[in-house]
Amino acid sequence: MTTTATQTYRNLLLERRGAITLLIVNRPDVLNALNRDTLVEIESAARQFAADPEQGALIVTGAGEKSFVSGADINELAVLDPRGAEEISQLGQRVFAGLERAGKPVLAAINGYAFGGGCELALACHIRLAADHAVLGLPEVSLGIIPGYGGTQRLPRLVGAGRALEMILSGRRVKAEEAERMGLVNHVVPRAQLMAEAEKLAQAILRNGPLAVAAVLEAVQRGLQLPLDDGLRLESGRFGILAASEDMHEGLKAFLEKRPARFQRR
**By the 8 A CB rule, do 25 and 63 touch?**
yes
Choosing from 41, 43, 120, 199, which is the catalytic residue?
Answer: 120
Q: Does 73 bind ligand COA (CB under 6 A)?
A: yes
Q: Does 70 bind ligand COA (CB under 6 A)?
A: yes
String of DSSP letters for 171-209:
---EEHHHHHHTTSSSEEE-GGGHHHHHHHHHHHHHTS-
Query: Which CB atom, from 7 or from 142, has the smaller least distance to ligand COA?
Result: 142
Nearest distance from residue 43's CB to ligand COA, in Å?
Answer: 19
Query: Which CB atom, from 68 or from 263, has the smaller least distance to ligand COA?
Result: 68
Cross-sheet strand order for the sheet of 67-69: 67-69, 113-115, 135-137, 174-175
Q: Which of residues 30, 50, 97, 212 is near ligand COA by CB under 6 A?
A: 30
Nearest distance from residue 264's CB to ligand COA, in Å?
Answer: 44
Q: Does 151 bind ligand COA (CB under 6 A)?
A: no
Choose one: 5-13, 64-72, 121-129, 196-204; the region binding ligand COA (CB under 6 A): 64-72
3-state secondary structure of 215: helix
Q: Which of residues 41, 43, 120, 140 is near ligand COA by CB under 6 A?
A: 140
Residues 244, 221: Cα–Cα separation, whole Å: 22
Q: Does 72 bind ligand COA (CB under 6 A)?
A: yes
Residues 33, 61: Cα–Cα separation, whole Å: 12
Q: Does 164 bind ligand COA (CB under 6 A)?
A: no
Within 8 A by CB and 6+ apart from 126, the residues are 100, 105, 106, 107, 217
Q: Which of residues 23, 24, 31, 211 is near ligand COA by CB under 6 A?
A: 31
Residue 187 dihedral angles phi and psi, to the nearest 5°: -145, 150
Residues 172, 183: Cα–Cα separation, whole Å: 16
Site for ligand COA in 90-119 (CB under 6 A): 113, 115-117
> Number of residues in contact with ligand COA, rule: CB under 6 A?
16
Query: Which CB atom, from 151 or from 209, has the smaller least distance to ligand COA?
Result: 151
**By the 8 A CB rule, do 180 and 129 touch?**
no
Choose one: 66-74, 93-101, 192-200, 229-237; the region binding ligand COA (CB under 6 A): 66-74
Q: Which of residues 13, 40, 50, 74 is near ligand COA by CB under 6 A?
A: 74
**By the 8 A CB rule, do 123 and 150 touch?**
yes
Residue 105 dihedral angles phi and psi, to the nearest 5°: -65, 135
Residues 217, 94: Cα–Cα separation, whole Å: 18
Q: Does 174 bind ligand COA (CB under 6 A)?
A: no
140 has catalytic annotation: yes
Binding site residues, ligand COA, CB under 6 A: 30-31, 33, 70-75, 113, 115-117, 139-140, 143
The set of catalytic residues is: 120, 140
